[in-house]
């Protein structure tokens, strides 16, 4: 009897050790997008997740967990088991801006509570105005705002979003009076801009360019240090006369994160496979079509960029007085 029990225990131990020793990954992964379906974050994540699944040999299931400026979905990632089976999208807004907007109400630390696997892409916002606005340059827009206090308004995807803070940077640097109008997403803000209900907004190129081409909005400047290759006719904000804009806060990005404490071999494998996925020819084409620029990194480089941008955006939020009460 004792020998049978010992044999059974030995079998269970061997089975457990075999399970532990299974190569990663041995089951499907979950990819959390901390925004609702249909936006640029969702459109970026799904093809990358599909390509990652091909390379890992396991399904990668995309789950949209929107709400509270991406903090709900981000917290879902932070609180997951650090076993490499839950990863997700991080953005400038969710990880560099939110800590300063939400303060103590944010249920996680975007630096300490995450494993920063790799940066993925960078992108720019473009300043667009309604065609009826009597300004064809940023300088003319600033002069118009100063000559008409209370008349100029700018929309955004909500308080603390990157396009909200892009507008606040402009206010801080030019001292022009502009009223922020937050919306539940960039789509409704763009709809109101086209209708003439607001003066201007900053938005990503993928959604702005069709409206520009159709003449529904007019582009005045991009937030990047140099002109965007996607709309080379539009000057950078610094070129347009807003000195220091690029240094203040133009760098916008998406990256891939997991919960803190993930084993280094798993982090390394995910980093390698994600970079391979992002650099695949078909993915490069998709990224270009979304008006993004490839920006991959080591985990250490990503963590360094986040710390730098966390500090930079903190100064902008403080100067703007932006806060979620």
As a whole number of angstroms, the distance between CA 24 and CA 56 comes to 9
- Evaluate whether 26-122+252-320 and 125-249 have a shared fold: yes
Least confident of 13-17, 89-93, 105-109, 271-275: 13-17
As a whole number of angstroms, the distance between CA 297 and CA 282 comes to 20
pLDDT at res. 31:
98
pLDDT at res. 287:
94
Report whether 160 contacts 101 (CB < 8 A).
yes
The model's pTM: 0.85
Structure tokens given for 228: 């965007």
- Average pLDDT score, the chain: 90
Please state which CATH number belongs to domain 125-249.
Answer: 3.40.190.10
pLDDT in tens, 206-247: 989 999 999 999 999 999 888 999 999 999 999 999 988 877
pLDDT of 251 over the 80 cut: no
Domain parsing of the chain, residue ranges: 26-122+252-320, 125-249
DSSP H helices in 122-229? 138-147, 162-174, 186-195, 205-213
Report whether 258 contacts 52 (CB < 8 A).
no
Strands 29-33 and 86-91: parallel
CA 64-70-72 angle, to 5 degrees, is 75
- Position 158 confidence tier, pLDDT thresholds 50, 70, 90: confident
pLDDT at res. 244:
82
- Position 4 confidence tier, pLDDT thresholds 50, 70, 90: low
pLDDT of 1 over the 60 cut: no
Report whether 97 contacts 90 (CB < 8 A).
no
As a whole number of angstroms, the distance between CA 212 and CA 76 comes to 37
pLDDT at res. 297:
98
**Which helix or strand (DSSP H or E) is residue 119 part of?**
strand 114-123
Maximal C-alpha separation, the chain: 95
Least confident of 5-19, 101-115, 245-259: 5-19
pLDDT of 15 over the 70 cut: no
Report the number of secondary-structure helices (H) and strands (E) in the chain: 12, 11
pLDDT at res. 6:
52
Report whether 201 contacts 167 (CB < 8 A).
yes
pLDDT at res. 217:
98
Least confident of 34-38, 75-79, 224-228: 34-38
Task: Determine whether domain 26-122+252-320 maps to CATH 3.30.465.10.
Answer: no
As a whole number of angstroms, the distance between CA 99 and CA 107 comes to 10
pLDDT at res. 250:
66
Best CA proximity match to 237, nearest among 226, 86, 71: 226
Structure tokens given for 73: 């979905």
Give the up-direction half-sphere exposure of residue 67: CA atoms within 13 A in the CB hemisphere.
Answer: 6
As a whole number of angstroms, the distance between CA 50 and CA 60 comes to 7
pLDDT in tens, 287-324: 999 999 999 999 999 999 999 999 988 888 887 777 76
As a whole number of angstroms, the distance between CA 51 and CA 59 comes to 10
């Amino acid at each position: 009897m004792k020998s049978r029990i010992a044999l059974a225990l030995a079998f269970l131990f061997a089975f457990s050790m075999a399970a532990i020793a299974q190569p990663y990954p041995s089951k499907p992964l979950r990819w959390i997008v901390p925004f609702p379906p249909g936006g640029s974050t969702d459109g970026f994540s799904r093809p990358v997740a599909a390509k990652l699944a091909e390379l890992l040999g396991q399904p990668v299931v995309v789950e949209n967990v929107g709400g509270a400026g991406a903090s709900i979905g981000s917290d879902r990632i932070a609180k997951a088991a650090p076993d490499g089976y839950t990863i997700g999208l991080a953005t400038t807004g969710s990880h560099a801006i939110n800590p300063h907007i939400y303060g103590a109400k944010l249920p996680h630390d975007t630096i300490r509570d995450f494993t920063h696997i790799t940066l993925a892409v960078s992108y720019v916002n473009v300043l667009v105005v309604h065609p009826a606005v009597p300004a064809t340059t940023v300088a003319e827009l600033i002069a118009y705002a100063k000559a008409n206090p209370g008349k100029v308004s700018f929309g955004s995807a909500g308080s603390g979003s990157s396009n909200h803070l892009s507008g606040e940077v402009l206010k801080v640097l030019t001292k022009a009076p502009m009223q922020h109008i937050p919306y539940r997403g960039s789509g409704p803000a763009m709809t109101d801009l086209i209708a003439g209900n607001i003066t201007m907004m900053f938005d990503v190129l993928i959604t702005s360019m069709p409206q520009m081409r159709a003449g529904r909005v007019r582009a005045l400047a991009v937030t990047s240090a140099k002109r965007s290759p996607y709309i080379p006719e539009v000057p950078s904000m610094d070129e347009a006369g807003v000195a220091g804009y690029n240094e203040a806060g133009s760098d916008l990005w998406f990256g891939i994160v997991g919960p803190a404490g993930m084993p280094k071999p798993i982090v390394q494998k995910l980093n390698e496979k994600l970079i391979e996925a992002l650099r695949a020819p078909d993915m490069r084409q998709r990224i270009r079509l979304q008006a993004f620029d490839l920006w991959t990194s080591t985990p250490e480089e990503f963590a360094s960029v986040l710390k730098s941008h966390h500090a930079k955006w903190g100064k902008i939020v403080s100067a703007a007085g932006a806060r979620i009460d």
